[in-house]
């Protein structure tokens, strides 16, 4: 019908529901089928079902209340469990500094302690220089009773951190016989200050590292998640819901050497950060939020951009020229001009929710005809090669 032109499979109803808000439909709810071309993990599939909602004239808090009410109703009806509201709320920065993850499992402890100022005073340059860097951090994790763990096992933890993208890992056993060699890193009173800061007790082990802020925290967060598995026995059904909010709006894409949207380009910056859009995009926080339960991201949403000028500025930051922006998204940019109301919403993974409710660890267990880890459909053999006649009919040429 349209030779040389193509439809794209929808990743979400994002832009359509925004246009509905602009058109005056101020409340929207849909069970939507969505498709993603991304790496597959235990909680991902290329096709998924989404509980999708959008509302006009709302704040983050009002979205949170609506979603929390839905979660309370689902968990009560399906499991007979009463969830406590409001759910705790963490900023992205707080979640990373405390847990090394933007979707933390908070059912067990092992919280991080920011020891950047102490690391920066170490005579060991490999520790101090990383902490002193503009985007550097020093961070420690206490393992209660960890002094009884063998040095060989503690050194294996460094492999986990390095594989996760960290620069390395050091450890102290809190015991008097090790004090002298520990002072090579933190001399005299600095060692006492370090142990006091992390609240380590005799018999504990302290793991610590320094390096670039996000990469270092995420790497230690991977280790924290592994160590926490043994602490979860008996806590499998605690249902630790929380919100993570105030994500950076942009992240640096080293491959294309430019800024890219961290979630998507239609999220409203925090009002006080609008002045930084062109001057310092890395500092801009968005009105973005994720719903997390037991270390699983259950949903993601934001307060949306509703002004043409702000949307054009955001698109310019990520490298879209004005002509490119209007060619791809002109329908939305022009719609903003017709008294677009402030609006926001969220998409919640229905399959993930069912996976959690059913006590399963892999999303494929709760989906009919799931794809494999390589995105293949075993039942019908898709994807498969297409014959030349079909290609000619579609006017597609393969190289």
How many whole angstroms separate alpha carbon 268 and alpha carbon 278?
A: 15
Query: Any idea which architecture 57-94+242-361 has in CATH?
Result: 2-Layer Sandwich (3.30)
DSSP 3-state assignment of 292? strand
CATH fit for domain 108-232, picks 3.30.450.20, 2.60.40.10, 3.30.1360.30, 2.170.150.70: 3.30.1360.30
Structure tokens at 322: 């004005």
How many whole angstroms separate alpha carbon 38 and alpha carbon 379?
A: 21
Instruction: Tell me which of 158-167, 233-242, 264-273 is least confident.
Output: 233-242
**Alpha carbon distances (Å) from 355 to 66, 68, 170, 378:** 22, 18, 37, 21
Which pLDDT belongs to residue 39? Answer: 67
Radius of gyration of the chain (CA): 24
pLDDT category at 38 given cuts 50, 70, 90 is: low
Residue of 101, 50, 47 lying closest to 298 (CA atoms): 50
Any bridge partners for residue 251, and if so which? 260
Contact in structure between 140 and 206 (CB atoms under 8 Å): yes
Residue 37 scores a pLDDT above 80: no
Q: State mean pLDDT over 244-248.
A: 97
Residue 237 scores a pLDDT above 90: no
Per the model's pLDDT, the better-predicted residue between 372 and 113 turns out to be 113
**DSSP state at residue 38:** S
How many whole angstroms separate alpha carbon 135 and alpha carbon 216?
A: 11
Which pLDDT belongs to residue 69? Answer: 98
Which residues in the chain are classed under CATH 3.30.930.10? Answer: 57-94+242-361
Q: What does pLDDT average to over the chain?
A: 93
DSSP 3-state assignment of 54? strand
- Give the other-Cβ count within 10 Å of 237's Cβ: 10
Which pLDDT belongs to residue 3? Answer: 78
Structure tokens at 270: 């925090």
Per the model's pLDDT, the better-predicted residue between 41 and 1 turns out to be 1
Which pLDDT belongs to residue 29? Answer: 96
Q: State mean pLDDT over 340-352.
A: 96
pLDDT category at 45 given cuts 50, 70, 90 is: confident
Residue 42 scores a pLDDT above 70: no
Cis peptide before 110 (omega within 30 of 0): no
How crowded is the C-beta side of 98, counted as CA atoms within 13 Å? 14
Q: State mean pLDDT over 53-75.
A: 98
* pLDDT single digits (tens) 96-138: 999 999 999 999 999 999 999 999 999 999 999 999 999 999 9
Which residues in the chain are classed under CATH 3.30.1360.30? Answer: 108-232
How many whole angstroms separate alpha carbon 367 and alpha carbon 205?
A: 43
DSSP 3-state assignment of 200? coil
Which pLDDT belongs to residue 391? Answer: 87
Q: Where are the beta strands (DSSP E) in 159-264?
A: 170-173, 205-212, 241-245, 250-253, 258-261
At what angle are helices 92-99 and 213-228 packed, to 10 degrees? 60
Which pLDDT belongs to residue 44? Answer: 77
Which pLDDT belongs to residue 41? Answer: 65
pLDDT category at 235 given cuts 50, 70, 90 is: confident
pLDDT category at 372 given cuts 50, 70, 90 is: confident
Residue of 197, 191, 137 lying closest to 166 (CA atoms): 137
Reported as type and span, the H/E element at residue 35 is strand 27-35
pTM tops 0.75: yes
Residue 346 scores a pLDDT above 80: yes
* pLDDT single digits (tens) 145-174: 999 999 999 999 999 999 999 988 999 999
Q: How far is CA 318 from the centre of its chain?
A: 20
**Alpha carbon distances (Å) from 336 to 103, 241, 283:** 33, 34, 26
């Amino acid at each position: 019908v349209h030779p040389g032109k193509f439809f794209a499979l929808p990743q979400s109803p994002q832009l359509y529901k925004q246009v509905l808000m602009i058109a005056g439909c101020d409340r929207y709810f849909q069970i939507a089928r969505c498709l993603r071309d991304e790496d597959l993990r235990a909680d991902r599939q290329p096709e998924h079902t989404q509980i999708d909602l959008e509302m006009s004239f709302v704040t983050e808090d009002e979205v949170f209340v609506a979603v929390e009410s839905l979660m309370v109703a689902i968990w009560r009806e399906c499991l007979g469990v009463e969830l406590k509201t409001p759910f705790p709320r963490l900023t992205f920065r707080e979640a990373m500094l405390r847990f090394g993850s933007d979707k933390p499992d908070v059912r067990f402890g092992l919280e991080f302690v920011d020891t950047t100022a102490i690391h920066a005073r170490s005579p060991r340059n490999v520790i101090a220089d990383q902490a002193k860097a503009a985007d550097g951090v020093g961070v420690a994790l206490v393992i209660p009773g960890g002094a009884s763990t063998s040095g060989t096992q503690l050194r294996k933890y460094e492999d986990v951190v390095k594989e996760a993208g960290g620069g390395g890992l050091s450890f102290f056993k809190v015991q008097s016989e090790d004090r002298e060699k520990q002072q090579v890193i933190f001399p005299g009173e600095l060692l006492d200050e370090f142990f006091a800061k992390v609240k380590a007790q005799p018999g504990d082990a302290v793991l610590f590292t320094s390096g670039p802020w996000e990469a270092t925290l995420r790497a230690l967060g991977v280790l924290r998640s592994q160590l926490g598995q043994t602490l979860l026995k008996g806590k499998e059904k605690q249902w630790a819901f929380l919100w993570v909010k105030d994500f950076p709006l942009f992240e640096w894409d080293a491959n294309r050497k430019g800024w890219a949207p961290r979630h998507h380009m239609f999220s409203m910056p925090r009002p006080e950060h609008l002045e930084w859009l062109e001057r310092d995009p890395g500092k801009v926080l968005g009105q973005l939020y994720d719903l997390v339960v037991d270390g699983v991201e259950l949903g993601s949403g934001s307060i949306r951009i509703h002004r043409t000028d702000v949307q054009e500025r955001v698109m310019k930051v990520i490298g879209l020229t004005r002509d490119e922006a209007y060619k791809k998204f002109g329908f939305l940019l022009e719609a903003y001009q017709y008294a677009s109301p402030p609006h926001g919403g969220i998409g919640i993974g229905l399959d993930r929710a069912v996976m959690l409710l059913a006590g399963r660890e892999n999303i494929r267990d709760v989906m009919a005809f799931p794809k494999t880890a390589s995105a293949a459909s075993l039942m019908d053999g898709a994807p498969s090669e297409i014959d030349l006649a079909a290609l000619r009919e579609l006017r597609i040429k393969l190289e």
